[in-house]
Amino acid sequence: MKLETPEGEKTDQPAAARANRVRASVSDLRKWLRLQAAKTGATVVEIPSKDTTRACWKCAHVNRSSAPGTLVWTCESCGERWDQDENAARNIRTATCAKGKRP
């Protein structure tokens, strides 16, 4: 399988080099996603990450930071309990739909 750089070039990098590609920057990932979307006609919707973890998916209250490493939060406003990653995914889905796009 040939890899493709963000610039759209094909490469035959060895496995060790490909493993290092996982450490690409976020800007490289965004560039690659835009390139692939343009090729396939897909749409890339960018959602700001601010408060996606702390804002309650149920009531939208932005909770204060919890102790580092806390994965399960209880909303200070409505009492809903959620996993921070699942909560962020729900908030991103909601923001995507608010832009008139399908997640």
For tokens 């990450």, the residue is: 49
75 touches Zn ion by CB under 5 A:
yes
What's the closest the beta carbon of residue 51 comes to Zn ion, in angstroms?
13
- Residues with Cβ within 8 Å of 53's Cβ and at least 6 positions away in sequence, in order, are 84, 85, 87, 88
What's the closest the beta carbon of residue 93 comes to Zn ion, in angstroms?
16
State the number of binding residues for Zn ion (CB under 5 A). Answer: 8
Q: Count of residues for the chain?
A: 103
Q: Which is nearer to Zn ion, 18 or 61 (CB)?
A: 61
At CB < 8 A and 24+ separation, what contacts does 45-51 make? Answer: 45/96, 45/99, 45/101, 47/92, 47/95, 47/96, 51/91
Site string for Zn ion, 22-61 (x = CB under 5 A): ----------------------------------x-xx-x
| Residues found near Zn ion in the complex (CB under 5 A) | 56, 58-59, 61, 75, 77-78, 80
